[in-house]
């Protein structure tokens, strides 16, 4: 009875902290502007299944993709067993599902153990890649001590949890073989991988074995509860957010820049063109319009100028660094790192969230996302090539955030570089980035051989 009370208490405490943290994250995301999400619902479901569950983009690098799939699916499926553990913990039973599942039960446990071994092997390989091989993208400038420690902690965490599972099953098997009280389960033999570990426990006394079995059981379930709380503070929040983030990903052609509806309306009126259908509402995945007669702020100075989808992107970021590794600006030595853009956006949300939690006025700290977190040099280095969006395994778009902040710099502060201002002037006057009249546009072809006249009537 004491163990049941302790278990229910631990479950309630973990549930409280998860609920509190998830609520804080949801409120931080809601700091962003509204964004209308429409489009093909069927395609959204396909994106979610292929990208979030199927890990489609991870398999661009087959070996790493396979290991990540084993790690992800293994951890998720193994935790199905948590349902039985929770029920056993609440009611004081032992392997409650055994009589109901019959011969399927040992098959399931064997499958779980196979995945557990796969998770352990994969975690060890990933730890070696990060700390021995020291892959460049895991040790970039923005990957300070905490991001590197966070990644290592999660991997070690999973190794410990899976080891606890296997040794718990092994000690439990020996206790069942001895007919110890509370461990008697009819017709249940040893399991594949934990069965290989039973010789380690056969020389133990029964009281010592019971103590270890209980310790391993508690370590496994408390570890999972602790993991559930910790992951909400970690980059590994993408385990959950990858699903909604890939579902709500833009379906517009990649690289298409979204106009501000209010600006688009004014330009069309100036040109004598009729308003588009989106001016009474919004186009697919368009940023919100501020009203027919009020433009509000152009672009984004802080997180409340970004959309909720941009902020969800930041919380979904896995910090894998694939975006930065593919970024041509970063590869040529410029300061831009798309991964840092997402990490900085998330850090700013956390700062504002702490202000709200402590009862302070949000955004009253005198800081902003631009300048205090993300420098103008980073923003101007972006070539808008869309490589970061294309390669992201969970449909994150650092480019959206970069473009919104550049829009603020140019339209609100008129702080574009001189070369950009010259280009803007040329586009306004000559309808092209180059400084020559539209009537001279084809002068370059004046000396070329002319094609023969058409023989068609």
Q: Can you tell me the distance from the alpha carbon of 412 to that of 419, in angstroms, rounded to the nearest whole number?
A: 18
Condensed to tens digits (0 to 9), the pLDDT of residues 264-310 reads: 888 888 878 887 655 443 444 555 444 444 456 889 999 999 999 99
* Cβ burial 419-455 (10 Å sphere, 16+ → b, else e): eeeebeeeeeebeeeeeeeeeeeeeeeeeeeeeeeee
Q: Can you tell me the distance from the alpha carbon of 310 to that of 389, in angstroms, rounded to the nearest whole number?
A: 13
pTM: 0.86
Condensed to tens digits (0 to 9), the pLDDT of residues 158-204 reads: 999 999 999 999 999 999 888 888 887 766 878 999 999 999 999 99
Q: Can you tell me the distance from the alpha carbon of 275 to that of 264, in angstroms, rounded to the nearest whole number?
A: 9
Burial class (CB in 10 A: 0-12, 13-18, 19+), 144: exposed
Task: Supply the pLDDT for residue 3.
Answer: 87
Q: Name the stretches of the chain with pLDDT < 50.
A: 279-284, 288-294, 457
Look up residue 439 and give its two tokens.
Answer: 């009537």
């Amino acid at each position: 009875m004491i163990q049941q009370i302790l278990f229910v208490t631990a479950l309630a405490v973990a549930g409280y902290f998860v609920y509190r943290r998830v609520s804080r994250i949801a409120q931080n995301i809601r700091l962003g502007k509204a964004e209308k999400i429409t489009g093909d619902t069927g395609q959204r479901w396909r994106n979610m299944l292929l990208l979030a569950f199927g890990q489609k983009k991870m398999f661009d690098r087959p070996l790493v993709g396979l290991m990540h799939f084993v790690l992800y699916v293994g951890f998720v499926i193994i935790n199905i067993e948590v349902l039985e553990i929770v029920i056993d913990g609440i009611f004081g039973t032992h392997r409650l599902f055994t009589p109901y599942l019959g011969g399927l039960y040992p098959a399931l446990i064997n499958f779980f153990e196979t995945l557990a071994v796969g998770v352990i092997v994969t975690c060890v390989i990933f730890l070696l890649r990060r700390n021995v091989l020291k892959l460049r993208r895991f040790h970039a400038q923005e990957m300070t001590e905490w991001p590197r420690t966070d990644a290592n902690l999660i991997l070690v965490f999973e190794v410990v949890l899976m080891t606890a599972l296997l040794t718990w099953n092994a000690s439990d098997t020996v206790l069942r073989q001895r007919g110890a009280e509370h461990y008697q389960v009819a017709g249940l033999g040893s399991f594949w991988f934990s069965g290989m570990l039973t010789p380690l426990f056969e020389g133990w006394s029964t009281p010592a074995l019971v103590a270890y079995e209980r310790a391993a059981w508690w370590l496994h379930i408390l570890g999972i509860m602790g993991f559930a709380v910790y992951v909400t503070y970690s980059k590994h929040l993408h385990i959950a957010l990858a699903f909604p983030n890939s579902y709500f990903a833009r379906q517009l052609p990649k690289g298409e820049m979204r106009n501000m509806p209010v600006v688009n309306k004014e330009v069309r009126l100036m040109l004598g063109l009729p308003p588009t259908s989106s001016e009474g509402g919004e186009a697919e995945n368009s940023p919100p319009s501020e009203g027919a007669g009020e433009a509000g702020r152009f672009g984004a100075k802080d997180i409340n100028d970004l959309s909720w989808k941009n902020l969800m992107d930041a919380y979904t970021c896995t910090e894998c660094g694939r975006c930065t590794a593919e970024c041509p600006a970063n590869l040529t030595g410029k300061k831009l790192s798309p991964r840092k853009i997402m990490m900085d956006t998330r850090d700013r949300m956390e700062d504002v969230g702490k202000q709200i939690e402590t009862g302070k006025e949000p955004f009253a700290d005198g800081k902003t996302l631009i300048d205090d977190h993300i420098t103008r040099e980073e923003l101007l280095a972006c070539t808008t090539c869309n490589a970061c969006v294309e390669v992201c395994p969970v449909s994150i778009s650092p480019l959206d955030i970069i473009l919104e902040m550049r829009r603020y710099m140019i339209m609100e502060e008129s702080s574009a570089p001189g070369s950009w201002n010259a280009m803007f002037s040329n586009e306004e006057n000559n309808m092209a980035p180059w400084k020559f009249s539209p009537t001279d546009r084809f002068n370059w072809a004046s000396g070329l051989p002319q094609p023969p006249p058409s023989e068609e009537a």
